[in-house]
Structure 1
Amino acid sequence: MAAVKIGIIKEGKVPIDRRVPLTPFQAKQVKERFPDVEVVVQSSDIRCFTDEDYQNEGLTLVKNVDDCDVLLGVKEVPIPNLLSGKTYFFFSHTIKKQPYNQKLLRSLLDQKIRMVDYETLTDQSGKRIIAFGRWAGIVGAYNGVWTYGQRYNLFNIRRANECFDLEDLKTEYAKVKLPAIKIAITGGGRVAKGAMEVMHGMGIRKVTPAAYLTEDYDYPVFTQLNTRDYHIRKEGGEFSRHEFYKSPENYESDFLKFAHSTDLLIAAAYWDPNSPVLFKREDITKSAFKINVIADITCDIEGSIPSTKQPSTIEDPVYDYNPSDDQVEAAFTDEGNITVMAVDNLPCELPRDASESFGNELLNNVLPELLGNDDKEVIKRATITGDGDLTDRYEYLRDYAEGKE
């Protein structure tokens, strides 16, 4: 294998992101496992690991990474910072044709950048092999409970970003004193599992969807809803998971029965724009609709949840949604509003833990393919652009990239 120089870049997106693709120890391991690979670190004053932490592991600090072959980041690289002809790894947020990143995709093509998107790195069965999902779920569920406590002045716990790491966060669990509310978690993947970790850690009992709808409790409970629990076929018949993910337009939402029993919704399910929405604004305005706090971990703006009108930030994590006027208002201003937590970079609140988990997956599941022969086509499947063009797998982005849609 020819010598390869990898650069860990400084995050440039605003608001800042303190996560790293590789921790100092993991970066050192790359050098040890792949002797022909050089790893350098672009100096940064915002990382959760300091420049000195990397130096202490024998890594070289640099001001620029112009001579690197592969550049590893986390969030989107600002267009002025892109280096032509390089191979980049980061979350591009383009595969759903997100309007705010159309110019980024155009620039990747114009500058003949090979773009490998973390979100599209999968094994041969199509399962993602690297993600921050668990940490989004942990922080999102914790924030949801924090938001509920704030709305009703029930208890005071530290924000997740005020805790050093997960173990420190867990010391707050015992302070949570919830009334007999019902909490619904949508989804069954990493994000939902992370959210359930928090529920179990706080001693909140899990019940089945059926019991959730029919039973009353004198203590807080939660249920976890898979896709089949809140979707039905438009033409009747049994739910098919395979069909739903292949042709979601054949289904409609049956979530309202849960909305009539739920106090706190933690939205942790991946949403395809072709899928039905959970509920509509008109549903919220009806008296049977009970949800008053939503922790929208998915944060699909104007997506499956009508109250998610905009993302919130770590510094200002919640806002109110006025369903009558379909407007965003200041948090906790009216009992008729829904309070929304929609922070779009939740893992940043526990950056050390999130980075370590992510880096292990990158080190063990991705870099061996990149620095080897890519026999499993892991890198090939995740490559969106190369040599100034879209790859065949992402040809569907053509009109989007050209600004035609």
Structure 2
Amino acid sequence: MLELWIRHEVRESERRCALSPADAGILIRSGVRITVEESPQRIYPLEDYVAQGCVTASAGDWVDAPESTVILGLKELPEEPAQLRHRQVMFGHAYKGQPGAQRLLERFEAGGGLLLDLESLADEAGRRQAAFGYWAGFAGAALGVLQQHGDLHPPIAATTSAELAERLRKYRDRPARTALVIGALGRSGRGAAAALVEAGVTPTGWDVAETRNLDRDALLRHNLLVNCVLAGPGTEAFLQRADLARPESQLTCVVDVSCDPGSPWNALPLYDAVTTWDAPAITVGSAAVIAIDNLPSLLPRDATDTFSADLTPHLRDLEGLTGAWQQCVTAYRTAVSAR
């Protein structure tokens, strides 16, 4: 029998969960056993999971779970234990040379566990099967609009997409601003465009064709840039710090939804560390730069429900690591062998 264990997220600003109570109930009724840890910030209360038949545990108890249990989470693990012996479903951010990547892989290797990185959960054509991209783009573009109108007041509290859209609509009668979304055809790009339209802005959309021979002068003629490109080998920088210092630059805000400052393939090497919900923007040249690495947590219920609906059909394949999970296994083994 497959046993899933939903762990508490150690990051205080992380309110999402990979699995909603409703989808947990669907899995339980199909024969899956699910344990859910207590978590004070998770958008869904523990009682909602209990009502669906989940078993409860204290935060952090996953370390003592039976070795056959699959641990389900989203963001970074605590520093201990040093050896990771379980199969862990999460966003590991360990395959692009990011800070801390080698240490994480060492912990899995030492404990005999397995990192099933959700970024690698893809079909044979490379299409990701579950992602938070749409709401990341929506949230990022919305924060960019708020920044431009002097209405970004930290600390920023979680909300819903309906409430955020209503807040954006009040800017529709303000002077028009120009916005550029790079990676416009992907999930994040579509979400960013939707938020901008709510604010009365019709964005310019660039994707692979428009960035193959990048027109940086045209880029700089926009007021707001929202980067939604998933960087990889060969990705070139769209902007450098010197570009934002150019007198002809009209950029007043740059939102990096992809947010990968530690990667050698970072498309926006304008900053050295991510920004936070308490300090969402830094100033670089003429522009404010927003680079929050868990943007969908602004919309935790919307993000959880959408992601969970995508992920749930694949969770049934975890017991035999069949289907798209084979892509995760291959990515992990390749990364470990390359260390």
TM-score, normalized by length of structure 1? 0.76
Check if 1:130 corresponds to 2:130: yes
Check if 1:338 corresponds to 2:287: yes
Deviation, 1:157, is 7.4
Equivalent pair of 1:312/1:318 in contact (CA under 8 Å): yes
Q: Deviations over 1:233-262 (max 9, x none)?
A: xxxxxxxxxxxxxxxxxxxxx231323321
Distance 1:310 1:373 in 2: 35
- Corresponding residue for residue 247 of structure 2: 287
- Corresponding residue for residue 177 of structure 2: 181
Distance 1:112 1:343 in 2: 32
- Corresponding residue for residue 9 of structure 1: 7
- Corresponding residue for residue 268 of structure 2: 305
Check if 1:261 corresponds to 2:221: yes
Deviation, 1:355, is 0.8
Distance 1:77 1:338 in 2: 33
Within 5 Å, give how 1:385-400 maps onto structure 2: 391=333, 394-395=334-335, 398-399=337-338
Deviation, 1:271, is 1.8
The 3-state SS of whatever aligns with 1:103 is helix
The 3-state SS of whatever aligns with 1:319 is strand
Within 5 Å, give how 1:5-404 maps onto structure 2: 5-12=3-10, 14-33=11-30, 35=31, 37-63=32-58, 64-65=61-62, 66-67=65-66, 69-81=69-81, 84-150=84-150, 156=151, 162=157, 164-176=159-171, 177-187=173-183, 188-205=185-202, 222-232=203-213, 254-301=214-261, 303-322=266-285, 337-364=286-313, 366-371=314-319, 374=322, 376=323, 378-383=324-329, 391=333, 394-395=334-335, 398-399=337-338, 401=339
Q: Deviations over 1:68-120 (max 9, x none)?
A: 61110111212304774311100000010212232111111111111111000
Deviation, 1:295, is 1.1
Gaps of 5+ in 2: none
Equivalent pair of 2:15/2:43 in contact (CA under 8 Å): yes
Q: Deviations over 1:175-211 (max 9, x none)?
A: 1144232111100210001101112222323xxxxxx
Whichever residue aligns with residue 137 of structure 2, its letter is: G
Distance 2:168 2:189 in 1: 18
Distance 1:173 1:340 in 2: 19
Deviation, 1:301, is 1.4
Equivalent pair of 2:254/2:287 in contact (CA under 8 Å): yes
Whichever residue aligns with residue 304 of structure 2, its letter is: S
Deviation, 1:369, is 2.4
Distance 2:330 2:92 in 1: 10
Q: Deviations over 1:39-75 (max 9, x none)?
A: 1111222211111222222221123231361110111
The 3-state SS of whatever aligns with 2:56 is strand
The 3-state SS of whatever aligns with 1:265 is strand
RMSD: 2.3
Q: Deviations over 1:142-181 (max 9, x none)?
A: 001011111xxxxx47889535311222221221144232
User: How many corresponding residue pairs?
Assistant: 329
Distance 1:309 1:372 in 2: 40
Bigger-Rg structure (1/2): 1
Distance 1:7 1:20 in 2: 12
Equivalent pair of 2:155/2:277 in contact (CA under 8 Å): no
Whichever residue aligns with residue 108 of structure 1, its letter is: F
Report the CA distance shift for 1:7/1:182 in structure 2 as closer, same or farther (over 3 A). same
The 3-state SS of whatever aligns with 1:310 is coil
Deviation, 1:384, is 5.6
Deviation, 1:229, is 0.9
Equivalent pair of 1:183/1:264 in contact (CA under 8 Å): yes
Distance 1:82 1:189 in 2: 37
Gaps of 5+ in 1: 151-155, 206-221, 233-253, 323-336
Amino-acid identity (%): 25
Report the CA distance shift for 1:27/1:81 in structure 2 as closer, same or farther (over 3 A). farther
Distance 2:87 2:39 in 1: 21
